[in-house]
Amino acid sequence: MFGNKFYHQTTRRYVALFGTLFNDIIIERKDNSGQLIQSMKVPIHYAPMEKILAKIEQDPGLNNPTGMTLPRMSFEIVNMNFAPERKLTSLTKNTRVSDTNDIQSSQFVPAPYDIEFQLNIMTKHTEDGLKIIEQIMPFFKPDFTASVKLVDDMDLYVDVPVIMNNITMSDEYEGDFTTRRVLNWTLSFTIKGYYFGPVTNKKVIKFVETQTYEDLPFVNPADQPVLQQYTAQPGDRVTSGSFETAKTYRVLNLGQGTQQQWNDVAGTTGVTYDIGTQFTAQNDGSAITGGIATLTYSYFDEDDNWSAIVVIDED
């Protein structure tokens, strides 16, 4: 949409978050003397409640070896609504600068949405349902907040509240005594989520050079030329005859020149050239290709060329 192709798997991450909250519930059954006779982990999966009940009804006599065992839990997304009360200023951006390739990543603040989940707990015995519910309720007061990584490119973690809205119970037992009984507990939750847009990448400005002088004579702005980058000679890159002997330059980009070639231009040895290094040209620089340098000034006169006051390089 709008010429941007992206997919952060946001809804999938919310589903994984919700299912993970309830995937480790264990119930125990004891005999009249208090001895443990059975311990089981309650399975959970993403599916509508009606589909689970239909599967159970296919084996009313409990004779099918592939019949579905109880207790069991399922969950699903039932609704998604925009949350205007959590909306931030649309022009605000999140930014991140890479430590390895000097790339700045940015994206606009996310759109807030309330995602409603329904958790269904199906049991054969009332006591099983109570054991499961009691392991859930104490942690929602009424919310539980989890930290979720939502955007990989931004390495962005967001605190996401999961709010419990209500709990209802229904008995699906109908028919004769051979019909399988199912007690269904329905828990309603709301995840206060966010959906992020595309990530934009651009280079980081690493070098800015500004040259000024104190006694600036008055110049009518209408008569002042437009500022532009000054290189050793017109054109972006250093070529044969670019430097003027005895003039002082500042390196903006080393290009394809080697250490020895830059030493030859400066007439010196043992100098490590980098962005910002100054040198006095001893020849025309014909051995260097691809570099960028700017002529430096020790002072300005009112008749000087204004083309080198500000230089910004993104290389």
Query: Who has greater pLDDT, 289 or 53?
Result: 289
Which of 250, 297, 309, 243 is CA-nearest to residue 275?
250
* Spatial contact of 186 and 118, defined as CB atoms under 8 Å apart: yes
- DSSP labels, 207-276: EEEE---S------GGGSPPP----SSSSSS--TT-S-TT-EEEEEE-TT--HHHHHHHHT-SS----TT
For residue 172, is pLDDT > 70? no
Q: In this predicted structure, what is the pLDDT of residue 162?
A: 96
The pLDDT of residue 28 is above 50: yes
Give the per-residue pLDDT at 63: 53
The answer on pLDDT for 260 being more than 70 is yes
What per-residue confidence (pLDDT) applies to 230? 35
Task: Provide the token pair at 212.
Answer: 């000024």
CATH of 10-83+112-193 given 1.10.580.10, 3.30.2000.40, 3.30.420.10, 3.40.50.300 = 3.30.2000.40
- pLDDT bin (cut points 50, 70, 90) of residue 170 is confident
Instruction: Quickly state the pLDDT bin for 117 (edges 50, 70, 90).
Output: very high
In a 13 Å sphere around the CA of 180, the CA atoms on its Cβ side amount to 22
In the predicted model, what is the mean pLDDT of residues 250-266?
Answer: 80
Q: Average pLDDT in the 206-223 region?
A: 62
More confident residue, 20 or 264: 20
Q: What is the pLDDT of residue 214?
A: 58
Radius of gyration from C-alpha coordinates of the chain: 35
pLDDT (0 to 100) of residue 231: 39
In DSSP terms, 161 is beta-bridged to 145
Distance CA 291, CA 67 (A): 75
Average pLDDT, the chain: 78
pTM, two decimals, is 0.61
| pLDDT at residue 219 is higher than 80 | no
Highest mean pLDDT among 71-80, 220-229, 305-314: 71-80
pLDDT of residue 41: 92
- What's the burial of 297, exposed, middle or buried (CB within 10 Å: 0-12/13-18/19+)? middle
Domain ranges of the chain: 10-83+112-193, 206-315
Mean pLDDT of 21-39: 88
Per-residue model confidence as pLDDT tens digits over 297-308: 554 455 554 444
